[in-house]
Amino acid sequence: VVCQGFISEDLVEIWARESYNRLLDIEKFGVKIRYEDGKAPGRLRIERLFHSVPDAVEFDGRTLKPKLTEEVRRRGVNIINRVMVTDLLTSDGSISGAVGVSTRSNELYLFKAKAVLLSTGTLTRVSRNPVGVDFVTAGPPPHLTGDGWAAALRAGADVINMEFLPPKHFRYGGNQVTGGAPICVWAPAGSIV
């Protein structure tokens, strides 16, 4: 189930090299990752997610978004919520910004950026669903429209495994469970970009 489709070895190498350090980063931001009953080195909890052996680090995800928000604000980042990015802007072969539309009004946004991180997928595993439906098991969430994938394609990103998205993958909240770009999900709640 976890690695269907083609694998991008470069992404797998980055994921393997950087995952633990990113876990330590979120701990520095105030997210709890260590537990008294944790049996892995450093008092981490390693739980069984997809396989018959423990394969996933458990942490207190309820505080993840608020703690990340605090950290980016501390670093002077201007946060603009409820804007759906529909296109990436390119200049000389690089991403230079984005175009987005407000999900609450008819406002159009134009972003100029030194760097862009495009993260696709769904947040139903990170926050409580406002309508009370568990989209992780019930099917694709209504806000998972594919706009990020389309923007990446139009901007010229290397995208693999788009042909491997049968309905069975929607039981994981709409994430494509493969080692390809741009989603590259190794667990339902996280993706490599």
Give the model's pLDDT for residue 98.
Answer: 95
Angle, in degrees to the nearest 10, between helices 9-28 and 64-74: 80
- The alpha-helical segments, DSSP class H, found in 140-181 are 147-154
Please give the sequence-ordered ranges of beta strands (E in DSSP) within the chain, or none if there are none.
45-47, 56-58, 83-91, 94-102, 108-112, 185-187, 190-191
Query: Can you give the pLDDT at residue 110?
Result: 97
Burial profile 136-170: b = 16 or more Cβ within 10 angstroms, e = fewer: beeebbeebeebbbebbeebeeeebbbeebeeebb
What local confidence, expressed as pLDDT, does residue 48 receive? Answer: 78
Answer whether the bond into residue 167 is a cis peptide, omega within 30°: no
Q: What is the mean pLDDT of each run of 10 residues along the chain (193 residues)?
A: 61 86 95 93 85 80 89 93 91 93 94 86 55 54 72 85 52 42 41 43
The DSSP call for residue 78 is P
How high is the pLDDT of residue 125? Answer: 54
pLDDT of residue 105: 93
Nearest to 173 by CA among 143, 153, 149, 193: 143
- Backbone phi and psi for residue 28, each to the nearest 5 degrees, phi listed first: -60, -30
Q: Which amino acid is at 114?
A: K
